[in-house]
Amino acid sequence: MLRRLVRFIFWTTTLALLASGAVAFVLWRELAQDLPPVEELLRYRPPAATLVYAADGSLIGEFFEERRYPVSIFDVPRHVKDAFLAAEDTEFHHHQGVDFAAIARAFLANLRKEHIVQGASTITQQVVKQLLLSPERSYERKLKEVILAQQLESKLRKEKILELYLNEIYFGAGSYGIVAAAQTYFSVPVEELSIAQAAVLAGLAKAPSRYNPQSRPEAAINRQRYVLRRMREEDLISDDEYQAALAEPLDFEGSRIGTYSVAPWYVEHVRRLLEEQFGEGFTSRGLRVHTAMDPRWQDAAVSSISSGLAHIETKWRLRVSVDRLKKGEFESYLARRRASGTPNGPQNAIVTEVVAHGDDPGVHVQTPWTTGFIPEAELIAARGSVRPTFFAVGDVIVVDPIEPREDGSSRFALDRDPQVEGALVAIEPDTGLVKAMVGGADYPRSQFNRAVLAKRQPGSAFKPFVFAAAVDRGFRPDFIVDDSPISLPNGARGLWSPRNFGDKYMGPVPLRTALAKSLNSVTVRLVGLVGLDPLRDYLDIFGFSARFSRHISLVLGTAEVTPLELARAYGIFATEGRRFEPVFITSVTDADGSPIEFPGAHARFLPVMRPETARTLTDMLTTVVESGTGRNAQKLGRPAAGKTGTTNDSKDVWFAGFTPDAVAVVWVGYDGSRPLGRRVTGGAAAAPIWTTFMIEVLDGQPVREFTKPMLPAPQSVEVAPDALAGPPASTSPDESRVPPG
């Protein structure tokens, strides 16, 4: 009887084990068939941030979807690796991907609680979970994790698995991988992490938000002490190291380069160029992008624009209003602003009443959301304090909320940021390198890059191209042209009568003087000498993005160009007749340091103008600086050539100039079509910014002279005819008053 019972138990147990094994085998096979191939991890490259560097190698920006900088495991200090092993997987070097004892403990704990409360994932399991599986918490996913972990251990060395883990893990605060975490929380490279710092980062692996040292420092320290204790228990650090780590003071402020903090408009333009070449995915390719930007030039450009715009507002007492409305337009304007804006921060407001006298002088305003009052003490613009009478009812101004008033309205202050905008672009002519670029007064306020995107009328800064066409056809600088009033047929509009600034005329003058004094009537007469259509053909050599319309007025600068286009065109004079594409990006490498071809990384110089023509125009443009509208540039104290530009009602003012070492263009104006005022000209507003910039960037550089042209003996005095080649073209009425700059 006993023998039968033993046999029964034996066979029953055997059959149960076989059945269980069969079920397990079938289950294992079914799961294995539905698993992603672990071979993917053998070729896996973690997404890495693309970094942008200045010409001196300093980091100026970064682009990423996940902020990660992959590192080789051999560059990670031993104590950093040990901290993570102590916190996450002390048996890492002894198991084959799975710690079955830990799984059993977790299984019993979860069984008691009737839901998953404890995990037992090894570092290998965490790698396959992060990179191959979904984050769901289920027994099926856990079984898949076990299978894949064992497969991975059979194909990769432990060091490589740990490298994948340290580069992939999320540490909070937008940081992926150990390198980004070290920078974010401690401002140090991973090689310089101390034991105490490493323990903090290892503690983050469990729950980055719960143990974030910047937002929850007490929880982070408690977790760090747990990690240090585990390191000591596992004999990964000595007692002295343990005590020193506990006592080490920690600063969790950290630091990181801001993508748009150093040279924002330059870096953003680089981003656009990279996206055009590589597509949106370039941000995760770990590219290393080296640019032509010179930090010293860039700093000079920023400070010159900033101080220059503030000086302009101060000197000419420019209105700080951004618009002027009629009373019937108030409500519709406020409704539009309400639909597109926010009541937080600086906001547009309409002046509804001006209180000039009494105990509480100031300005009453209406914003899209509330009424308010600006006391006289808060009427401070970029140029200084202003009186309430500086404003009129209907002015639109920018205000900053301060505090509510007792009557329920709001108290405001006048926004002190200058409303005038400016742009500067500077190129090294010998290389075509764009070494500095500023696209506006304040990047946080407006990210629009006026240096490369804003098409504005260049005014008289366009005239050198017209004079170059004449010189290229044999007209020398001493050729005499009549400077007197001129009227041209203008179709149905009658006559077009371009006038000189101030209606002043000089009679017969040499071309050199006409360019220096920016005489409009002489410039228009040159069209009769060159021909309108031949002139338009000639302008193609300067490489402007669009062919200009057949309007005679284009010779006075009514066509629209960007500051970068104008700088490139002036670069032809500076390089003695060669045109180039401005270079922003000088080289690109992949994450391994291998070069990647990038179009335009090196300037290609194309001869487009006779060298003697370019030298002659340069010589004529030095006269503009010596005795013409660009006299402010004399303060540079070295040879300089350039031309001012001022459009109708001073809506745009310019100075475009160069030395043998640098070409720079400065534009000043409002974003809209609002005039700066008739007293604000290119020579008085833009040229000082240009000069300030050039003085700083050329300081300490040897003085270089321009190559003098081989000019023949003076021609006999000859007054050019007034006839125009080709039929007249229609022009807008206000193009008759283009000032000289």
Task: List Cα–Cα distances, 128 to 80, 124, 267, in angstroms.
Answer: 22, 7, 37
Query: CA torsion, points 122, 128, 131, 135, in degrees to nearest 10?
Result: -70
- Name which of 433, 665, 475, 649 is nearest 569 in CA terms: 665
DSSP string, 309-329: HHHHHHHTT----SEE--GGG
The gap between the terminal CA atoms of the chain, to the nearest Å, is 121
Give Cα 332 distance to the centre of its chain: 35
Taking the C-alpha atoms of residue 228 and residue 231, their distance in angstroms, rounded to an integer, is 5
Residue 624: DSSP 8-state: H
Q: Is 399 exposed, middle or buried (0-12, 13-18, 19+ CB in 10 A)?
A: buried
Beta-sheet pairing, 606-607 with 585-589: unpaired
- Greatest CA span in the chain, whole angstroms? 142
Tokens of 20: 């269980």
Taking the C-alpha atoms of residue 492 and residue 729, their distance in angstroms, rounded to an integer, is 11
The three-class DSSP label of residue 3 is helix
Taking the C-alpha atoms of residue 338 and residue 280, their distance in angstroms, rounded to an integer, is 34
- Let me know: does 198 contact 206? Beta carbons within 8 Å: no
- Let me know: does 642 contact 631? Beta carbons within 8 Å: no
Question: E strand or H helix at 428, and its extent?
Answer: strand 421-428
Active-site hit among 194, 410, 460, 553: 460
Q: What angle do CA 77, 80, 84 make, to 5 degrees?
A: 145
The three-class DSSP label of residue 116 is coil
Compute the residue count for the chain. Answer: 741
Q: Cβ contacts of residue 409 below 8 Å, gap of 6+?
A: 370, 371, 372, 373
Known active-site residue 280: no
Taking the C-alpha atoms of residue 614 and residue 226, their distance in angstroms, rounded to an integer, is 74
Known active-site residue 545: no
Cross-strand bridge partners of residue 725: none
- Name which of 569, 571, 567, 459 is nearest 523 in CA terms: 459
Tokens of 567: 């700088």
**How many CB atoms are closer than 10 A to CB 330?**
16
- Sign (positive or negative) of CA dihedral 503, 509, 510, 513: negative
The values of phi and psi at residue 494, to 5°, are 90, -130
Active-site hit among 62, 88, 163, 378: 88
- Let me know: does 563 contact 453? Beta carbons within 8 Å: no
Where in the sequence numbering do the catalytic residues fall?
Answer: 88, 460
